[in-house]
Structure 1
Amino acid sequence: MTWLDDNSITLADLSQEDLDLWLTTNPTWRRDLKPFIRWAVARRLTSKVTIPTKKYGLPSRSLDTDELNQQLRRCLNDDTLPLEARIIGALTCLYALPTTRIVELTTDRFHRDGDDAYLTISKHPVLLPPRLAVLIERQITSPACRTSVLQQSHTGTPGFLFPGRPPSRPRSPQTVNHYMKLHGLPGVSARNTAMMEAITDLPPIVVSDLFGIHPHTAYAWDQYAQNSWAEYFEAVQSTD
């Protein structure tokens, strides 16, 4: 309920995508949340959303690696797409960020150090690909972002990278998700695949520190990745 309040979503407006998005970063709460969701649906306090039964308690929707890379290339290189959509899509594909985290990013989290550019997602700066750094710089200098920074400077707080209406508030994750769908760009499925890629390449504690997810969540993803690879190799061997 706190998450819904923070993202300006009422219980009555809760969608299956909103619920899936929350479960992506809070998989260990799946079992505890089921009774509440059943209670709310039975009393028509929310739509007929469900918590999917899933081994290891993690979302099942994903893309294959080629699809994820294709989406990333589109975000970085397709100048016909809106600038904001390209940045949000690239952050999803590269760093497995949920929409709720992306809309909270502020302009002061981006900085350059010589020829390198960094984005502080959680506690530690993450090195950005040069193409994405250029896109973020263009966004920061855009009229909407400058207005946000100017208004926020009066209160001593940094402006949002993706300002909403009014600019003192971030965009609604629900609005952003719909916006990305309109352009056929990455959503929950892409984020799940990106998290699998990250957890395969990096230790869970590093993923937790860089991307700002709870250590328990990172370890749950690690366990899920290990079991997924074991099932894959077992399937391959059975066909030999």
Structure 2
Amino acid sequence: MDRGKIQTAIEFLAWLDANDLPFADLTQLQLELWLVTAPPTRRKAIGAFIRWTNARRLTHRLEAPIRPRAQPSVFHDDDEHHDQLLRCLTDQTLPLDVRIAGAFVRLYALPVTRIVHLTTDCFQRDQDGAYITFDKAPVLLPPTLARLIEQQIASPLTRSMLQPAPGSGPVFLFPGPLAHQPRRPHGLAVRLLDLGLPTLAAHNTAMIAIAADLPPIVASDLFGIHVSTAIEWAALAQDSWSDYLAARNATG
């Protein structure tokens, strides 16, 4: 490690000591709480330190997310976002997998790289409704989307003649050319774009809506967003709401 990385590690360990947090019991949430208050220049350095401690099993599967270099700037307006979501849920001329993936992006701000790794056992139905678990907590699904997912599970689109044996491993909701592998995210993203359902603006629009409606820790548990990232989006949503109110008052 270079001097800057060593200094960052010392600062982080001092913070843990000051807060009476044992390093051996360090959690992802504690790491991200430190990242929220740390200068942006410390993020890359602490990431190197955490990768080093993970490799030596001093910590377990921790990640130090990198702060985005710039605020998101591409969004849909409310009508466009709603129309695209409605298209995903109701347009039977669209391929089934495209409809589900497009709805996941527009409702839950899921990136395509995570969508393709969803497995069929993430989906559950009980007497109260249908749910899907993206991270820690199940998310209640709209009935229409739940039915689309059930159709996809019953007859997944795959070009493979070889199906995985029962109990041989996870069954992907979006299987690739080989059924035991997920679909390639780039191919799915291009397919969505070609059919008029681009992902970047849709993701940003859904993300800012989530950040405006849910506390960061809840958004993290439901959608697998890093807490620090959720906090940044919450701040952006608050700024956007303040700007909207200021503009409305100026014209009122």
**Same fold per TM (> 0.5)?**
yes
**AA partner of residue 140 (structure 1):** I
Give the alignment partner of residue 66 of structure 1, picking from 49, 56, 79.
79
Corresponding residue of 1:116: 129
* SS across alignment from 2:164: helix
1:6-155 to structure 2, matched below 5 A, reads 54=70, 58-144=71-157, 150-151=163-164, 153=166, 155=168
- Report the alpha carbon displacement of residue 123 of structure 1 after superposing the two structures with TM: 1.1
**AA partner of residue 177 (structure 1):** A
Q: State the 4+ residue runs in structure 1 displaced beyond 2 angstroms.
A: 30-33, 147-150, 152-155, 235-240
Partners of 2:113 and 2:161 in 1: CA distance:
19
Corresponding residue of 1:46: none
Contact 2:119 2:171 in 1 (8 A): yes
Give the alignment partner of residue 193 of structure 2, picking from 181, 189, 192.
181
- Report the alpha carbon displacement of residue 238 of structure 1 after superposing the two structures with TM: 2.5
TM-align CA RMSD: 2.8
Larger gyration radius, structure 1 or structure 2: 2
Corresponding residue of 2:245: 233
Contact 2:163 2:179 in 1 (8 A): no
Corresponding residue of 2:63: none
Is 2:213 aligned against 1:198? no
Relative CO higher for 1 or 2, CA cutoff 8 Å, sep ≥ 6?
Answer: 1
* SS across alignment from 2:131: strand
Partners of 1:170 and 1:111 in 2: CA distance:
20
Partners of 1:216 and 1:116 in 2: CA distance:
31
Unaligned runs of 5+ in 1: 1-27, 34-51
> Under a length normalisation based on structure 1, what TM-score does the superposition of the two structures give?
0.73
Partners of 2:103 and 2:110 in 1: CA distance:
10
- Report the alpha carbon displacement of residue 233 of structure 1 after superposing the two structures with TM: 1.7
> Under a length normalisation based on structure 2, what TM-score does the superposition of the two structures give?
0.70
Change (3 A) 1:195 1:210: same
1:81-136 superposed Cα distances (whole Å, 9 cap, x missing partner): 11000000111111110101100100010011125101011111100000000000
Corresponding residue of 2:35: none
Partners of 1:143 and 1:231 in 2: CA distance:
45
Partners of 2:161 and 2:99 in 1: CA distance:
20
Partners of 1:206 and 1:79 in 2: CA distance:
33
Overall identity of the aligned pairs, in %: 51
Contact 1:107 1:159 in 2 (8 A): yes
